[in-house]
């Protein structure tokens, strides 16, 4: 066995006992460098073959343009590129020979040449926001040349410019510019949210470095942003020119902040990174404003938003390494310097990054664009330089050969896989014999670990008393288990399971904890916490995580309500469909009555409505009790601390009735937020001496309480709202609505609200634009509201059924055969209803709704027979359990439970 040096040596402290590093161990490091597949975390699309010849090939190794690029032939990066390309192409080592050979490869078989140039890439994350978008291939075309599918990086400025241009075109000199600005910003917000839920999009990118510089202020100058926007609209709408370049005071900062806010507020798998161009660029950049150090305040402001600093920040490499070291949410990309920097500079860059920065914070990219040769050179040079630098580290004892292999696999594959949540496995062919030598067991990276999410969440937060793992059963009763914080934290940090054994009867219980027929107390599920739902609250001293049920072997339980919604989301994503969901939380506060023994014996009511002291819909004087304003304030603050934004709050019609509006989010997060908000409101209301209830209609002479749901559906993040898509979706829901209400109006008391002409959605199966007397209200475009949904429904099951029904409408291209109903359908004649396609009414009671569900074979098939069967059994047993109660007792029962 030959040796190549000492690992450890006497060391900086003079310690003895050197460890020999063998050539065989160095060979394993080299093998890892040469064979580990690469996740290219930042690249751009390739030019189409008939376009590629229009651009100078010299630009593959230079950021210079115009006359300046001519001098690049005397630069070291160019000379090195000639040598490497001539070797690959088998031609003379002159630029002229290389150009001729490249053109021949392109003309003979362009795809074969691209395949060779991109060899070794696992996947590419493509920023397709460059100019000349019509000249390049779509991002999905690149799937032909990578081991796994490619993904998109959405460029913030390109998205904003496209939206602004649409408003320039549509501007008519009549609309107030402030209104146009607000509409534009709302559209931008919606597009960002759609991108967050789009499985093809894995991150965002800002080129603000090129536009107004990286010194992004902590607070946006909104007045300057509005003024800049007004200037754009008036200039471009008059000229008829296309607005393309966003480089305006206030506006650039505004869009970057808005994108970061939405990323910050999207937990778990939707917490996608935002990349920043830093340093190295063409002469369009102001070099003194391109250091990533200018971003420090922005980084602090959005401490939970993953931020990737591109291009090593060259020449501010140490600034990049420092920021990635001291901020948990910052990562250093060492792309583009391969191949536009000379080899000696590339080696210095790698060494400087590792002077301070942990390798777990470093990733690599090609920044390949337009020409396949940029990818080829970047991959060749990166592997060469890593081999030189990393093997030198090993030989000098700076890092062990085992850790060096881990370093290589981390920066080329694992780090990007984790940060962008790609869920890829390091291919067995590339890891198996290395694993056998090194003894590692963590070569299959996926999403951020539960411990990583937990550690990031706990940062700067006081320890709670308990961590609760929650679920919702088939009666929509919230249930949970509490684990003392110290035990939970210890289990997680010692890599022990934190799941909980729960009886299988849990999904077959009534509110009274009695088991329905056909379900027994034998067997056990495992309740697994989903750390993407981790939140502070809902009461002081608690953290909450929503859980999903699994079998002991890890298989998902089909009957699990939360898993049902995840299944519906995944099924939709496979068809390229994504959603945004927003809930209105209507709730009623009641007075608690202390009963005398005589009243107890007579079973008097323990609750009553608050006195009506001028309380009305949206009234400003809702504070009949001075504790109410403080209560509402505390609820909103608690939700903000939990990361749940409240869009607005107002009084509803009944005394003590309020509505709290949550923003649109991807479906799973929307339901998680809804349930957490309800628990938070209930906790605060109880502490203030009130009884919180979601009872749909506790008092016949007062306004009912619902949980209206807002929906939007899109085929992709960048195609907007396609009318043909969303009309098919809502047609699918309307077709099955008489059965779907068994899920959305899930309790006998729910049907006390199914009345006409009461702003409650009415009884007729139809839709109407801004019509609150229809169960489906179209608001604008794809944004519709479902009114026949109340707080007694299990929103996981109900939303899953709605999404699956709507998706079936898209897949089968069902026509929206109902015409837009513009007035209260209850006031129409029979003939008028027929002309609008209105022929059905909603079922009058839960039993009828369950019968409709049982008879809707198509809906049963898409929702799942097991789930529907269990749901029918639970609900019928629930109906039977209420038969012996008086009306007052049934009302009290619902108020107590919900």
Residues in the chain: 898
Mean pLDDT for the stretch of residues 148-159: 93
- pLDDT at position 624 is 67
d(CA 439, CA 188): 49
For residue 195, give both structure tokens: 């991108």
d(CA 563, CA 546): 11
271-272-273-277 Cα dihedral, nearest 10 degrees: -140
Mean pLDDT for the stretch of residues 127-141: 78
669 neighbors 267 (Cβ within 8 angstroms): yes
**856 or 423, higher pLDDT:** 856
**244 or 481, higher pLDDT:** 481
d(CA 338, CA 749): 67
Q: Which residue has 């006195």 as its token pair? A: 611
269-206-375-435 Cα dihedral, nearest 10 degrees: -30
Coil, strand or helix: which one is 435?
A: helix
d(CA 752, CA 755): 7
For residue 857, give both structure tokens: 């074979």
90 neighbors 101 (Cβ within 8 angstroms): yes
Q: What is the pTM of this model?
A: 0.56
**53 or 266, higher pLDDT:** 266
Say how many C-beta atoms besides its own lie within 10 A of residue 495's C-beta: 9
Check pLDDT > 60 for residue 444.
no
- pLDDT at position 12 is 32
Give percent of the chain with pLDDT exceeding 90: 46
757 neighbors 773 (Cβ within 8 angstroms): yes
Q: How confident is the model at residue 144 (pLDDT cuts 50, 70, 90)?
A: confident
For residue 817, give every residue at least 6 positions away whose Cβ sits within 8 Å of its Cβ, in sequence order, or none: 731, 837
- pLDDT at position 604 is 72
Which element (helix H / strand E) includes 309?
strand 307-309
**Three-state SS sequence of 144-195:** HHCCCCCEEEEEHHHHHHHHHHHHHHHCCCCCCHHHHHHHHHHHHHHHHHHH
Cis ω on the peptide bond leading into residue 713 (within 30° of 0)? no
- pLDDT at position 131 is 62
Check pLDDT > 90 for residue 760.
no
Domains of the chain, first to last:
3-153+199-212+270-438 (3.20.20.140), 450-557 (3.10.20.70), 566-897 (3.30.590.10)
Strands 767-769 and 648-651: unpaired
Mean pLDDT for the stretch of residues 209-222: 90
d(CA 838, CA 825): 8
Between 64-68, 587-591, 819-823, the lowest mean confidence (pLDDT) is in 64-68
- pLDDT at position 428 is 52
- pLDDT at position 140 is 85
- pLDDT at position 11 is 36
Check pLDDT > 50 for residue 790.
yes
Check pLDDT > 70 for residue 586.
yes
- pLDDT at position 291 is 93
Q: What is the DSSP letter of 555?
A: P
Check pLDDT > 90 for residue 141.
no
- pLDDT at position 397 is 87
Half-sphere exposure of 4 (CA within 13 A, CB side): 15
Mean pLDDT for the stretch of residues 164-171: 89
Mean pLDDT for the stretch of residues 273-279: 93
Check pLDDT > 90 for residue 620.
no
Check pLDDT > 70 for residue 640.
yes
Q: 483 forms bridges with which residues in the sheet?
A: 467
Q: What is the DSSP letter of 866?
A: H
- pLDDT at position 752 is 86
- pLDDT at position 431 is 41
Check pLDDT > 60 for residue 535.
yes
Q: How confident is the model at residue 445 (pLDDT cuts 50, 70, 90)?
A: very low
Check pLDDT > 50 for residue 434.
no
- pLDDT at position 5 is 39
469 neighbors 547 (Cβ within 8 angstroms): yes
**429 or 203, higher pLDDT:** 203
Of 389, 397, 400, the C-alpha closest to 334 is 389
Q: Which residue has 């502070």 as its token pair? A: 536
784 neighbors 700 (Cβ within 8 angstroms): no
Which element (helix H / strand E) includes 43?
strand 38-43
Q: How confident is the model at residue 483 (pLDDT cuts 50, 70, 90)?
A: very high
- pLDDT at position 51 is 80
Q: 34 φ, ψ to 5°?
A: -80, -25
Most confident of 284-288, 595-599, 628-632, 702-706: 628-632
Q: 861 forms bridges with which residues in the sheet?
A: none
**443 or 159, higher pLDDT:** 159
- pLDDT at position 71 is 83
Q: Average per-residue pLDDT in the chain?
A: 86
């Amino acid at each position: 066995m030959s040796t190549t040096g000492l690992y450890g040596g006497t060391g900086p402290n003079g310690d003895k006992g050197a460890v020999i590093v063998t050539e065989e161990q160095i060979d394993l490091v080299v093998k890892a460098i040469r064979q580990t597949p690469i996740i290219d975390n930042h690249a751009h699309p390739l030019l189409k073959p008939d376009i590629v010849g229009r651009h100078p090939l010299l630009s593959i190794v230079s950021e210079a343009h115009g006359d300046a690029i001519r001098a690049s032939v005397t630069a070291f990066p160019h000379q090195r590129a000639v040598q490497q390309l001539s070797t690959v192409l088998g031609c003379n080592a002159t630029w002229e020979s290389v150009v001729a050979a490249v053109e021949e490869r392109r003309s003979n078989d362009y795809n074969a040449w691209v395949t060779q140039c991109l060899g070794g890439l696992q996947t590419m994350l493509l920023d397709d926001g460059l100019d000349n978008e019509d000249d390049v291939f779509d991002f999905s075309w690149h799937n032909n040349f990578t081991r796994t599918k490619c993904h998109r990086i959405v460029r913030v400025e390109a998205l904003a410019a496209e939206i602004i241009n649409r408003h320039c075109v549509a501007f008519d000199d009549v609309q107030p510019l402030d209104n146009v600005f607000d509409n534009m910003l709302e559209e931008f917000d919606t597009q960002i949210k759609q991108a967050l839920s789009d499985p093809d999009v894995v991150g965002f990118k800002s080129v603000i470095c090129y536009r107004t510089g990286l010194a992004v202020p902590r607070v946006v100058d909104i007045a300057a942003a509005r003024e800049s926007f007004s200037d754009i609209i008036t200039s471009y709408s008059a000229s008829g020119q296309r607005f393309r370049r966003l480089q305006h005071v206030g506006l650039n900062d505004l869009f970057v902040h808005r994108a970061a806010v939405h990323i910050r507020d999207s937990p778990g798998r939707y917490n996608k990174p935002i990349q920043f161009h830093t340093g190295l660029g063409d002469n369009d950049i102001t070099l003194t404003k391109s250091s990533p150090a200018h971003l420090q305040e922005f980084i602090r402001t959005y401490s939970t938003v993953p931020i990737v600093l591109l291009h090593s920040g060259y020449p501010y490499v140490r600034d990049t390494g420092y920021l990635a070291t001291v901020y948990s949410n910052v990562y250093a990309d060492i792309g583009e310097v391969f191949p536009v920097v000379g080899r000696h500079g590339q080696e210095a860059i790698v060494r400087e990054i590792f002077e301070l920065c942990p390798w777990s914070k470093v990733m690599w990219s090609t920044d390949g664009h337009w020409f396949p040769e940029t990818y080829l050179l970047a991959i060749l040079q990166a592997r060469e330089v890593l081999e030189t630098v990393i093997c030198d580290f090993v030989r000098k004892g700076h890092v062990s050969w085992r850790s060096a292999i881990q370093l290589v696999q981390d920066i080329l594959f694992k780090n990007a896989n984790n940060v962008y949540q790609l869920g890829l496995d390091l291919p067995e062919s590339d890891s198996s014999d290395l694993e056998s030598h090194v003894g590692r067991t963590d070569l299959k990276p996926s999403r951020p670990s539960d411990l990583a999410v937990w550690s990031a969440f706990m940062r700067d937060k006081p320890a709670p008393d308990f961590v609760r793992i929650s679920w919702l059963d088939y009666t929509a009763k919230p249930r949970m288990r509490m684990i003392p914080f110290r035990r939970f934290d210890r289990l997680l940090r010692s890599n022990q399971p934190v799941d909980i054994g729960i009886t299988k009867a849990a999904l077959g219980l009534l509110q009274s904890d009695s088991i329905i027929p056909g379900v027994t107390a034998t067997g056990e599920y495992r309740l697994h916490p989903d750390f993407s739902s981790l939140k502070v609250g809902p009461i002081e001293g608690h953290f909450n995580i929503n859980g999903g049920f699994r079998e002991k072997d890890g298989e998902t339980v089909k009957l699990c309500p939360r898993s049902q919604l995840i299944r519906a989301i995944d099924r939709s994503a496979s068809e390229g469909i994504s959603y945004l969901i927003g809930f209105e939380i209507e709730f009623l506060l009641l007075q608690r009555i202390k009963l005398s023994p005589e009243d107890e014996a007579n079973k008097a009511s323990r609750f009553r409505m608050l006195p009506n002291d001028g309380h009305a819909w949206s009234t400003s004087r809702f504070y009949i009790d001075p504790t109410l304003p403080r209560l509402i304030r505390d609820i909103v603050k608690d939700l903000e601390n939990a990361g749940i934004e409240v869009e607005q709050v107002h009084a509803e019609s009944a005394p003590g009735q309020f509505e709290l509006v949550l923003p649109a989010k991807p479906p799973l997060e929307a339901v998680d937020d809804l349930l957490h908000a309800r628990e938070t409101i209930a906790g605060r209301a109880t502490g203030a001496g009130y009884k919180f209830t979601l009872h749909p209609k506790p008092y016949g002479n007062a306004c009912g309480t619902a949980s209206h749901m807002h929906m939007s559906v899109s085929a992709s993040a960048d195609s907007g709202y396609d009318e043909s898509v969303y009309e098919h979706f809502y047609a699918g829901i309307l077709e099955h609505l008489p059965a779907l209400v068994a899920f959305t109006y899930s309790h006998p008391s729910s049907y006390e609200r199914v009345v006409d002409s009461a702003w409650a959605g009415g009884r007729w199966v139809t839709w109407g634009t801004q019509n609150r007397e229809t169960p489906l209200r179209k608001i604008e475009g794809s944004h519709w509201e479902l009114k026949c949904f109340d707080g007694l429904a299990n929103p996981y099951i109900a939303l899953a059924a709605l999404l699956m029904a709507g998706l079936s409408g898209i897949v089968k291209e069902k026509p929206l055969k109902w015409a837009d109903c513009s007035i209260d359908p209850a006031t129409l004649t029979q003939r008028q209803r027929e002309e609008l396609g209105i022929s059905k009414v909603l079922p009058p009671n839960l039993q009828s709704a369950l019968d409709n569900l049982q008879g809707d074979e198509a809906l049963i098939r898409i929702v799942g027979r097991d789930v529907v069967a269990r749901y029918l059994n639970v609900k019928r047993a629930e109906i039977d359990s209420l038969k012996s109660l008086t009306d007052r007792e049934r009302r009290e029962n619902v108020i107590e439970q919900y």
